[in-house]
């Protein structure tokens, strides 16, 4: 068992608490394995009625996955250790999605990337005044994986496409408005909520009793613009739509998109289009693993992490450099099936 995640039982609740505060509780492979093992153990424990998922301390619920491991893998071992990480992380995502007992995710703080991957499969997703939700992968040449294709494509109003391409951050109120969070609680009430759940009270009733009406969702005022400008399934179509709007909002979003990896943006749009047609989450994770296996070793990922996270120069040199340079043939190769022995498989 790793010290990077605290696993306990309290009364009728299993409790998983992420514990890497200096890394904003970003997930390592050991953490994924520990969480998966705990869920497996509690599945047949009649005393455990609900699973609580939160973080031990600090300002993040979970900032994502182990980006340094992934970049080192891309640069040094041809993506082998990175693919192993993705494979088992996706198994955890799928295990949580299919889990028979309710899981309550307390998204109190930064919830990004891999953090979204472990929050969204939960039956109950609690936002607070500290929640900051985003899938910012297009900025580092990755893509909104960990089930992001499934979850984002089902938000409606093209909000998922907007979030996937821009990496926009939503606060807790916006998460409730979008349907990303099921409840909104004040941070001061979280301990009481967890205590009642552990005592065996039905989590939905507990969260409804303690829940607050969230503040007005700022993004709601942009709902029509998002639906209009992000309607196209082509990246070029979205850019052209924004270019034809002289509003300040459109100019800001256009400038944001110009900083993102064109390859990743096109991958994300195809990913959401494909995910929206699927009716089995396992099929979605199989597709995302194929994409992750290829994108991990494409030039944009190592370059994006260098520019944004390592050197912090924010000047990535994308390859291809333009949306027009990202061909359908390249996308086809990224989404193509893997050799049968290398395909993703769910946890037994």
Find out whether 66 and 33 touch, Cβ atoms under 8 Å. no
Q: Is residue 315 part of a domain?
A: yes
pLDDT at 2: 77
Which residues are catalytic, by number? 65, 114, 137, 145
pLDDT at 234: 96
pLDDT at 284: 98
Q: Is residue 347 part of a domain?
A: no
Please, is 157 exposed, middle or buried when counting C-beta atoms within 10 Å of its C-beta (0-12, 13-18, 19+)? middle
Full-model pTM: 0.97
Q: Is residue 348 part of a domain?
A: no
Q: 176-186 burial by CB neighbour count: b if 16+ within 10 A, else e?
A: bbbebbbbbbe
| C-alpha to C-alpha distance for 169 and 167, rounded to whole angstroms | 6
Domains in the chain: how many in total? 1
| C-alpha to C-alpha distance for 17 and 309, rounded to whole angstroms | 26
Q: Is residue 84 part of a domain?
A: yes
pLDDT < 70: residue spans in the chain: 1
Please, is 237 exposed, middle or buried when counting C-beta atoms within 10 Å of its C-beta (0-12, 13-18, 19+)? middle
pLDDT digits (tens, 9 = 90+) for 273-284: 999 999 999 999
Q: What is the mean pLDDT of the chain?
A: 96
CATH number at residue 83: 3.90.226.10
pLDDT at 57: 82
pLDDT digits (tens, 9 = 90+) for 25-54: 999 999 999 999 999 999 999 999 999 999
pLDDT at 1: 57
Q: Is residue 334 part of a domain?
A: yes
pLDDT digits (tens, 9 = 90+) for 282-308: 999 999 999 999 999 999 999 999 999
Residue 135 belongs to domain spanning? 5-342
Q: Is residue 129 part of a domain?
A: yes
What are the CB-based long-range contacts (under 8 Å, 24+) for 69-73?
Answer: 69/28, 69/29, 70/142, 70/296, 70/301, 70/305, 71/301, 71/302, 71/305, 71/306, 71/310, 73/296
């Amino acid at each position: 068992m790793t010290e990077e995640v605290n696993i306990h039982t309290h009364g009728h609740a299993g409790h998983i608490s992420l514990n890497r505060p200096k890394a904003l509780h970003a997930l390592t492979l050991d953490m994924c394995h520990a969480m998966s093992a705990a869920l497996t153990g509690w599945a047949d424990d009649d005393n455990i009625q609900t699973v609580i998922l939160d973080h031990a301390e600090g300002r993040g619920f979970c900032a994502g996955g182990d980006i340094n491991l992934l970049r080192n893998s891309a640069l040094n071992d041809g993506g082998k250790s990175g693919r192993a990480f993705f494979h088992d992380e996706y198994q955890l995502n799928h295990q949580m999605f299919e889990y028979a007992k309710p899981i309550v995710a307390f998204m109190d703080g930064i919830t990004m990337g891999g953090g979204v991957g472990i929050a969204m499969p939960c039956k109950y997703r609690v936002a607070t005044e500290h929640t900051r939700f985003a899938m910012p992968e297009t900025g580092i040449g990755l893509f909104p994986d960990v089930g992001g294709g499934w979850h984002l494509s089902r938000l409606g109003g093209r909000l998922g496409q907007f979030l996937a391409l821009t990496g926009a951050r939503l606060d807790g109120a916006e998460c409730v408005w979008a349907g990303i969070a099921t409840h909104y609680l004040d941070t001061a009430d979280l301990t009481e909520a967890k205590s009642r759940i552990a005592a065996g009270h039905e989590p939905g009733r507990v969260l409804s009793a303690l829940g607050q009406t969230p503040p007005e969702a700022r993004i709601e005022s942009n709902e029509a613009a998002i639906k209009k400008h992000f309607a196209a399934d082509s990246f070029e179509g979205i850019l052209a739509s924004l270019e034809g709007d002289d509003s300040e909002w459109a100019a800001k979003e256009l400038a944001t998109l110009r900083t993102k990896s064109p390859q990743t943006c096109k991958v994300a749009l195809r990913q959401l289009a494909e995910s929206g047609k699927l009716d089995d989450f396992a099929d979605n994770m199989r597709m995302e693993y194929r994409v992750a296996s290829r994108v991990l070793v494409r030039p944009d990922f190592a370059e994006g992490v260098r520019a944004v996270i390592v050197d912090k120069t924010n000047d990535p040199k994308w390859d291809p450099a333009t949306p027009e340079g990202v061909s359908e043939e390249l996308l086809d190769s990224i989404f193509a099936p893997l050799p049968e022995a290398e395909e993703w498989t769910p946890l037994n």
